[in-house]
Amino acid sequence: MPGYSPGLGAGMDNRSLEYRALAAECLKLAGCATDPNRRSEYLALAQMWTELAKEAARGARALDRAQEEFNNAQIAKAVEAAPPVQQQQQQQIQPKKRGS
């Protein structure tokens, strides 16, 4: 749609996807790790990235809701401030009376 811009939270939602990809990478590395300490560290990192992804997604939704509320309030103010529209009445042409 031309002129459409995504909500402010779109960037945060992209960040959420990035964090989920990092969590997946940590899980993959944990699966390949032979050292139990290293595996534990990768799993902890995966958990951290997953939590950050959840927070970013929540933040994106909250930001989009706030933006929508703000926009709706601005539209309502503009509608209230707009001068009333005056409609013109159209005259109907009356047929001429016969015999007068």
- CA nearest neighbour of 43 among 35, 18, 12, 17: 35
Query: Does 96 map to a domain?
Result: no
Question: Is 2 inside a domain boundary?
Answer: no
Domain extent at residue 60: 10-81
Q: pLDDT tens, 44-85?
A: 999 999 999 999 999 988 888 999 999 999 988 888 887 877
Locus of tokens 């990809």? 21
Report if residue 3 sits inside a domain: no
Residue type, 64: D
**Domain annotation covers residue 37:** yes
pTM value is 0.59
Query: Is 20 within the bounds of a domain?
Result: yes
The answer as to whether 99 is a domain residue is no
Give the pLDDT score at 99. 65
90, part of any domain: no
Q: Which two tokens stand for residue 65?
A: 């809701």
Q: Does the residue 50 lie in any domain?
A: yes
Arithmetic mean of pLDDT, 5-33: 83
Task: Indicate the number of domains in the chain.
Answer: 1
